[in-house]
């Protein structure tokens, strides 16, 4: 995806750029959250915005998530296009009512006569020993509840286009970004997420998966960090003569089941990678989407690599043991092919 003289951006900068460009043309767009102003967001995704737009439109909030996310719902219903940041997705516990009973339901309750054009952006993911209240993904929990779109980019190109699409959407979009893909060095960033990003505005369609790598022997499905694990595994499998296709979900809601089914129809094998908890989650949903459609599409039992059903431990060795990684994907192929 990268050519020598092209401009590359981190996901953080791509998100900030998309936000700034949309703010220039739409006065209804504003950002609120903790430390989004002078600090530019803990993860850099509002960096530079307060300098251009001021503290009226780039608003630091009190540590009052239930109030400011609820307020975003109200402002969205009143004609604004708020972007609210929940600093870590793990904090959803203190504000979930505003998210799933208000943000996600008011369009429906109003029979469509209210719109809720807001973005809830939030960070996900672990791997850097931040303990069990600062390392979760939890997107399965959001995606389970109807009424909100849920996306997660795996690279900066998609990050920018998805942010533009999310801001313009008349429905609420939960925009989740993986901390280790942000391009913040202090979070040990995955370099492959920093890619060429065009300067002009563009949209990446919400609800459309992407083929991140073509292959014919096995389909590996993931999102966010899972895509990078899958791509690394695909490189190793290629050394063994196995051709893996990697599907980047990009969006969990709506879920592009067609792309997944078409890929599995071609390869006949399915591995799903997910950093969220295993049970009742994304991996099960993807597998069901394939099997309920056409059970005979599969030549082998599908495999899932997800976070085990335990809270996330602090100690490095324990956390790394639990996380998905390319080795586990390659091993899953080994069991599948045996």
Partner 1 sequence: MAPTRDELHWMYRYMVISRRFEETIAEAYFEGKTPVFNMANGTIPGEMHLSDGQEPVAVGVCAHLKPTDVVTATHRPHHQAIAKGVDLDKMAAEIFGKKTGLSGGRGGHMHLFDANANFACSGIIAQGMGPAVGAALSRKMQGKDGVAVAFLGEGAVNQGAWHEAMNMAAVWKLPFVCVIEDNAWGISVPKDAATAIANNADRAAAYGIPGHRIEGNDPYKIYEVAGEAIARARAGEGPTLIEVETYRLAGHFMGDAEAYRPEGEKDALFAKDPIPAMRARMLEDGSASEAELDRIEAEAAERVAAAIKFARESEEPAPEDALTAVFA
Ligand X SMILES: Cc1ncc(C[n+]2csc(CCOP(=O)(O)OP(=O)(O)O)c2C)c(N)n1
Catalytically active residues, by annotation:
65, 134
Q: Please choose, out of 131-139, 143-151, 213-221, 296-304, the segment that lies near partner 1 by the rule CB under 8 A.
A: 131-139
In the bound state with partner 1, the residue whose beta carbon lies nearer, of 126 and 161, is 126
Collect all residues with Cβ–Cβ distance below 8 Å to 334 and sequence separation of at least 6. Answer: none
Q: Determine if 84 is a binding residue for ligand X (CB under 6 A).
A: no
Question: Looking at 2-10, 150-158, 229-237, 313-321, which segment touches partner 1 (CB under 8 A)?
Answer: 313-321
Question: Among ligand X, partner 1, none, what does residue 61 contact (CB within 5–8 Å per kind)?
Answer: partner 1
Burial class (CB in 10 A: 0-12, 13-18, 19+), 73: buried
> Mask 45-74, x = binds ligand X (CB under 6 A)?
------------------x-x---------
Q: Is 147 left (phi over 0), alpha (psi -120 to 50) or beta?
A: left
Question: Which among 137, 151, 120 has a CA at the least distance from the CA of 248?
Answer: 151
Q: Which residues partner with 277 through β-bridges?
A: 307
Order of all β-strands in the sheet with 81-88: 58-60, 29-33, 81-88, 119-124, 173-178, 149-151, 251-253
Least distance to partner 1, CB of residue 21, Å: 25
Instruction: Among 14, 16, 42, 165, indicate the residue that binds partner 1 (CB under 8 A).
Output: 42
* Using rule CB under 6 A, residue 96 touches ligand X: no
Instruction: From 87-95, 196-204, 222-230, 267-275, give the range in contact with ligand X by CB under 6 A.
Output: 87-95
Secondary structure E strands in 190-258: 195-196, 210-213, 218-222, 244-248, 251-253
Q: What is the helix (H) or strand (E) element at residue 113, kind and residue range?
A: none
Member of 27, 54, 198, 311 binding partner 1 (CB under 8 A): 311
Q: Is residue 256 at the binding interface for ligand X, with CB under 6 A as the rule?
A: no
């Amino acid at each position: 995806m990268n050519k020598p003289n092209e401009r590359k951006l981190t996901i953080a900068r791509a998100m900030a750029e998309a936000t700034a460009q949309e703010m220039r043309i739409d006065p209804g767009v504003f950002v609120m959250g903790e430390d989004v102003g002078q600090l530019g967001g803990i993860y850099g995704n509002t960096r530079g915005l307060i300098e251009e737009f001021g503290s009226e439109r780039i608003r630091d909030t009190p540590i009052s998530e239930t109030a400011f996310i609820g307020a975003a719902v109200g402002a969205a219903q009143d004609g604004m296009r708020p972007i609210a940041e929940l600093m870590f997705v793990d904090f959803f516990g203190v504000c979930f009512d505003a998210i799933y009973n208000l943000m996600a339901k008011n369009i429906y309750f109003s029979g469509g006569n209210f719109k809720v054009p807001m973005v809830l952006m939030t960070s996900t993911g672990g791997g850097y020993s931040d303990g069990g209240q600062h390392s979760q993904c939890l997107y399965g929990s959001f995606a389970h509840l109807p009424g909100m779109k849920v996306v997660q980019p795996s690279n900066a190109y998609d990050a920018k286009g998805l942010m533009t699409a999310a801001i313009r959407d008349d429905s609420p979009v939960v925009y989740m970004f993986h901390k280790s893909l942000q391009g913040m060095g202090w979070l040990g960033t995955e370099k492959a997420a920093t890619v060429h990003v065009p300067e002009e505005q563009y949209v990446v369609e919400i609800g459309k998966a992407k083929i991140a790598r073509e292959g014919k022997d096995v389909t590996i499905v993931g999102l966010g960090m899972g895509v990078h694990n899958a791509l690394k595994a695909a490189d190793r499998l290629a050394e063994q003569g196995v051709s893996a296709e990697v599907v980047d979900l990009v969006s969990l809601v709506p879920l592009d089941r067609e792309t997944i089914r078409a890929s599995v129809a071609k390869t006949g094998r399915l591995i799903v990678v997910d950093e969220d908890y295993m049970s009742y989650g994304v991996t099960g949903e993807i597998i069901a989407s394939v099997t309920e459609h056409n059970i005979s599409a599969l030549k082998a039992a599908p495999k899932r690599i997800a976070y085990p059903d335990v809270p996330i431990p602090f100690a490095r060795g324990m956390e790394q043991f639990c996380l998905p990684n390319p080795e586990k994907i390659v091993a899953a192929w080994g069991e599948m092919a045996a």
